[in-house]
Chain A
Amino acid sequence: MNGFWSIVLKEFMHLRRDRTSLVIVLVLPLIQMILFGYAINFDVRHIQAVVVDQDHSRESRDYLQRLHATQYLDFVANVQSSDQAADMLRRGQARVCITIPDGFARTELQGGNPQVGVQIDGSDSQVSVRATSAFQAPPAQLPAGTPQARMTVLYNPTARTATFMIPGLIAVILQIVTVALTAFSVVREKEMGTLEQLMVTPVGRLALMVGKLVPYAVLAICELGVILIASDVVFDVRCHGSVLALFILSIPFIVASLALGLLISTIAQTQGQALQFTQLTLLPSILLSGYISPRETMPGWLYTISSILPATHFIQATRGIIVRGAGFSDLIPQLLALTVISCVLLTASTLRFRKTIA
């Protein structure tokens, strides 16, 4: 044990000098704990539901009132036709559709068990399992005059984990690769001194930036293709909607990820730091985006944070297209959100990039 204490002391001295590592060791776990603690919550409540009340009776309103009191369901809309309700499910605007048929009140008053149609979106298996149990709560032996829910789970009726996980995984993988590649490619030039060499040449700042991003954008789009084929061949998760729409929606997401990588590269001085920052940005994208745990369970402030993450909107889009067969027009809100986020990130990173390399 020659020199043991000298080594121990020296390591502590390094730690004291290296503030960044110290912060990462002491503060990061705290952030992680809060994120995990709040974000991972499988006790799903407040599931968005759309109602088609064709009975318009006091009894039907009473029934809905009782459902609402369970706290499992939040009624987000009242529509006239089941077509409209189906549209909302496909778009991801509601997870559950409750159809109360004409004659509901009459059957109930006559002592029968009126039937209620319930359609559940199965693309998020945790939500669908919870929603199912919300309707199953009444005892099996129905007393007279109690409505009976006839449930249909749409899109992923068998609640396959792969069908639920793979579309989200596509977004996560795509983000990891693009953020890391961009951040590394710029930081490497910093470390090797080649950026300094480029600065004395007449190369334009914009040409440098866009020139560095385009190859990685192309790579990311190819990667998306590979992942889609792999998820079909290996996991039997087939794209039910338009593949073209998926690629179009992936463009603003990829741009946002590239911009995030560029932003990291302006802060990180070494590839080691770039790696740490990349992981830091990844954590919320995994925990808050709805990839693992439904966003419905999050407290308000966390929900707000989750809605500015590009991964949140892209996962909505991938689940929509792949699982629910949503079309391009169903995902206009996601496209808009992703476009706005990517523009903001790109502007911020461009400004910082121009400043740091000047």
Chain B
Amino acid sequence: MTGGARAFSLAVLHFAGLTACSAPDRTARIEPPAPVWAAGLSVDAAREAHRQAELRHHLRHLEAVKPRWLLDATARALSPERIARGDFAPWELHEAGRLLFEHEHTFADGLGSPFRRVHKGRSGGPETTSCGSCHWRGGPAGAGSLQDSSFVLGDGDTVSSADPRNPPSLQGAGAVELLAAEMSAELQSARDELLARARREGKEIEGKLSAKGISFGVLRAKPSGEIDASHLEGVDPDLVIKPFGWKGTFATLRSFVVESLQQHFGIQAEELVARHRSSPDPELLGGGADPEDPDGDGVRSELTEGQLTALVSFLAMQELPVVRPQEAWHGAEPAAPSLIAPTATVFADDWARGREVFASAGCSSCHVPKLILQSPVFRTRGERSGAVTEIDLSKHAESPRLERDPLADGYPVWLFSDLKRHDMGREAASRHVDHGVPREAYLTRRLWGLASSPPYFYDGHAPWLDHAISAHGGEASESRSKFNALSREDRGALRVYLLSLRRERRVMVP
């Protein structure tokens, strides 16, 4: 590396709080500069966005001078020992994670080859080089457009062999994982109680299961310790709520990220490779002769445990979308001299009415507006070292973040989902059973941030709200019929309400 590049690299790493990598024997931690959490539309936030753009520009140059620059630097710095020791503040992990999220992988990094737009079975594409390429709409870590949809579980060539999946927006992912974990715990302790009772009473016991007020059907416990899960609803027999993936297939961000990296750009995380060594899964990873390099591209250790922890932390710390009615806009100037200025219109009444319609049409029975979270502490555990990273999302996440509401006795999360799977009817059925989830079943999509993430539906076919609502079937057929029967005014009101589910306005410099 040239001297100039080195000087700069140190500056970058210092900012990312990773400087101590040049002095591995140092035990005392340098106090890093205070985090820049400038949010919203301030000049501070814009300055910070410009700084990030400058950094991006420089990183491109550094990668040209020394391929693998970013991956090597972050792999060195983010050692499991340092993470376990708590050397990194949450925002430092977030910064490193952001760089990795934006990083466009190259063949030297371990990117798969050649590109394959339609996935081949579980092994995937690769069809892209970075996370940010498909998660961008509505802002950083946003959603994907129609073109960005993945074609999963296909034959590697034809679209008709695969299931299209539109990239969802990643906001609030940490809170979602926590909600799901609390719900799983609730369901599992109910199961354990039923089993204990069945054993005690020596007969089969039946009990209704629910978590955070959401019903998940009926579980039968037998004295033998077996369970009959055939009357469960919307959750797997293991009673683990899996809130990630359109069909609800992943319980944790970590597992979701690991598989996404493999399928979308052929980057094999160390953890995945380690798991492969103990229980081989060549269908997912490939059958390379080198056990450390299953995809046989000559690159080992394509993503270290520490890098994965940084990526997961970045995602967990994503802002929460907001519910913000459209403001009236008085006294607006025309956009150009010859155009007419927008007339001041107040949408408050429409919004209020839309909120009623959302409930009366039955939308809110699955798209449950809010769930209450008990603990805001996010944990992710490195599989190999066992190092646990803890982040209090109510303190360290991007803004807007979790806030405790004393009246609710917890942290309200306005996600508009019950985190439960439902039958969406034959029309919406996928071509393949995905991770054991039946073809008609989908997880209730979280509607938060919806205004910032068109198009809609699992395949992104719906350019607008009406098309998405019309595509509901199965358990949602009745609500769809109610929507179709609404008056023009009520439909308008419902749309105004739905469009208030959006991301806080924020600046970026691409």
Are these two chains actual partners, yes or no? no
Residues of A within 8 A of B (CB): none
